[in-house]
Amino acid sequence: MTLPRRKFLRLAVAAAALPAYARNVWAESYPVRPVHLIVPIAPSLTPDILARLIGQRLSETLGQPFIIENRPGGDQTIGTEIVTRAAPDGYTLLLATAACAVNASLYDHLNYNFIRDIAPAVGLVRVPLVMEVNPSVPAKTLPEFIDYAKANPGKINMASGGNGSPQHVAGELFKMMTGIDMVHIPYRGNMLPDLMAGQVQVYFGPLPSSIGFIQSGKLRALAVTSAARSQSLPDVPAIAEFVPGFEADAWYGLGAPAGTPVPIADKLNIAVNDALADPGIKAKLAELGAQPMPLTPAEFGKFIVDETEKWGKVVKFAGIKPAS
């Protein structure tokens, strides 16, 4: 039997719409089983605490457990690769970090492309770093430090958490934008004892782990790396007040394997942004020195592209290579 042309076209359009309809229905019921949130960093650190805070809230909101899985190693590349290889169904998510953007340029032969293989879902928070020095450094302000560094090229040691770490690239961006020369000293462990002993002089440290030493006078804060001052250290200026355009926050967001249905990413986005607006969650984030970064999937995707390009320039300028 031959179908009339109009009826055939109606049936064809309806058939083509079925997969999209099925995806939308699937997304509406999401999640129907536990969701695994891969954290590419060891337990007990700020990113892990953040993931557990948000994961608990999502469990309550969406009605299924959000299980935190710590998969550290390879400068966060191991955990990231696990997510890129997972099924694109919303049940394996990544706590994406600033290091993911840096790694895109730091490593020549990754088994994935972060921008291509991770679908952005939502921004979570920014965490400022704080430029802190040993009290023996004669500079009391950021302009004084820049003048001191220019007068003593190569004589200031800058500690970091390792090659390509957020602390390292923040320091290299500062060097690039100010034209000063500091010697990078990478650490695998805690560098704060050496900083307080004066064996290294400056460190771009995470605000949460630094604030106690600053408040006790064991370290001196010169500036924070966020675009504006931090509520945690309101009397400490932002580097951008003296070096226009400087910004080097640690940041975190949620990503999923590429190809994850858009409605699932949208559902996660709404749930997370609702959490970030909650006064109780805001108070807990403030204790971590974190500032909410609510972004749509499209905005978070653009942010990731911009960050990858920005840190790629710094990695190239400074000639940064992964630790051997």
What digits encode the pLDDT tens for the residues 262-302? 999 999 999 999 999 999 999 999 988 899 999 999 999 99
Band of pLDDT at residue 25, cut at 50, 70 and 90: low
Band of pLDDT at residue 14, cut at 50, 70 and 90: low
Sheet holding 291-292, edge to edge: 66-70, 35-39, 92-97, 250-257, 118-127, 291-292
Domain 129-241 class in CATH: alpha beta
In degrees and rounded to multiples of 5, residue 96 shows phi and psi of -75, 145
87: amino acid identity, one letter: A
**Whose structure tokens read 């675009």?**
227
- Nearest Cα neighbor of 31 from 68, 59, 3 is 59
The mean pLDDT of 137-143, rounded to a whole number, is: 97
- Name the helix (H) or strand (E) containing 211: helix 207-215
**Whose structure tokens read 């090659």?**
163
- What are the Cα distances from residue 26, in Å, to 97, 264, 273, 303? 28, 9, 21, 28
- CATH superfamily of the 33-126+249-318 domain: Bordetella uptake gene, domain 1 (3.40.190.150)
The mean pLDDT of 66-78, rounded to a whole number, is: 95
Q: What is the pLDDT of residue 45?
A: 86
One fold for both 33-126+249-318 and 129-241?
Answer: yes
Q: What is the pLDDT of residue 1?
A: 44
What digits encode the pLDDT tens for the residues 110-129? 999 999 999 999 999 999 99
Q: What is the pLDDT of residue 21?
A: 47
What are the boundaries of each domain within the chain?
Answer: 33-126+249-318, 129-241
The two beta strands, 220-224 and 66-70, are: unpaired
